[in-house]
Amino acid sequence: MKKILVALFSAILCTCVLALAEESSNQSVQINLIDLAGQKSLDAKDGLNITQVASGKNASVNLVMGSPGSILKMHYHQYSDEITYCIKGQAAMNVSGKKLVMKAGDLMYIPALVLHGSEVTGNETLQLISIFTPPFDGKDRIYV
């Protein structure tokens, strides 16, 4: 099952990157998320650090990082579905009142309008790839 989810995520990510590259006047898009994550400094009191790494007409990709104890308050996205893949670390997730643990290798699909939030747990920095479709515009996160 895990291999199927990793293959599914890889296919989705490749599709998003190809679509973004196609929309960028036939310019290729290549971003090393491990290198990008290494360049970011984090402070738990600042919450999660969210960096948009690519965006196009149909999707956007963000690198999300947080120190242990960082919290992303409960919210929903009115228009965008979110697909999140955990690269490193772990987080306690609350998705529509259901408590989940997200750890390295886990993929989560959160449809638009579904209430969710998270807290970074454990002792290492959380690193996630978050894909939104349609693209996240910075205004489609509604806190409750």
Which CATH number covers residue 105?
Answer: 2.60.120.10
pLDDT class for 95, splitting at 50, 70, 90? very high
CA dist., res. 144 & res. 136, Å (int):
18
- The pTM assigned to this predicted structure is 0.78
Place of tokens 């205004």: 139
Q: Which has more confidence, 105 or 27?
A: 105
Residue 7 scores a pLDDT above 90: no
Write down the pLDDT at residue 144: 95
Q: Mean pLDDT throughout 73-93? A: 97
**Domains identified in the chain, total number:** 1
Domain with 103 in it: 2-143
Buried-state track 93-121, b at ≥16 Cβ within 10 A, e below 16: bbbeeeeeebeeebbbebeeeeebbbbbb
- What's the whole-number mean pLDDT along residues 117-142? 95
Residue 109: closest CA among 28, 38, 30, 100: 100
